[in-house]
Amino acid sequence: MDGNRPSDVLSPECPSRQVLRHLTSTWGVLVLIVLLKGEHRFSALKRRVGGVSERMLAQTLQQLEGDGMVLRVAHPVVPPHVVYSLTDLGQGAALRVQALVGWLESALDDRAIASGDGKIGRICQV
């Protein structure tokens, strides 16, 4: 009926802010862009996301799962076998996060090249 927008991250009490914090958290961002490439097991995520501790990875995945961004499927076998993937909602988020990250990497590279700084190539090689 009306055209107003209920969710507003500029408003401190709005729950959307919590979700935004999860999506844009240090590890949340990185987990999302890795999961965009396909489903991963816990240990595979840990290897891909450089520098993350098991504790932080578990916590980040639980937050994203709680927000409906990540799907966790556990196969009841020993040793445990758990697969993480993006939900439809999570894929929408991950695509936007990836757009920001991809743009940033390019923009920083362009700036490094423009300033003649040859160091970055040695620092960040995949």
Binding site for a copy of itself (CB under 8 A): 4-16, 19-21, 23-26, 29-30, 33-34, 48-51, 68, 89, 92-93, 96-97, 99-101, 103-109, 111-112, 120-121, 123-126
From candidates 3, 15, 38, 51, binder to DNA by CB under 7 A = 51
**Rounded-to-integer distance, Cα 119 and Cα 30, Å:** 23
In a 3-state reduction of DSSP, which class is residue 85?
Answer: strand
Instruction: Considering only the stretches 55-63, 96-104, 106-114, 115-123, report the one whose residues sit in contact with DNA under the rule CB under 7 A.
Output: 55-63
Contact 83, 76 (CB under 8 A): no
Look up residue 25 and give its two tokens.
């958290």
Regarding 15 and contact with DNA (CB under 7 A), the answer is no
Helix (H) or strand (E) holding 77: none
Look up residue 116 and give its two tokens.
């003649």
Give the interface with DNA as residue ranges (CB under 7 A).
Answer: 21, 25-27, 41-44, 51-56, 58, 61-62, 72, 74, 78-82, 84
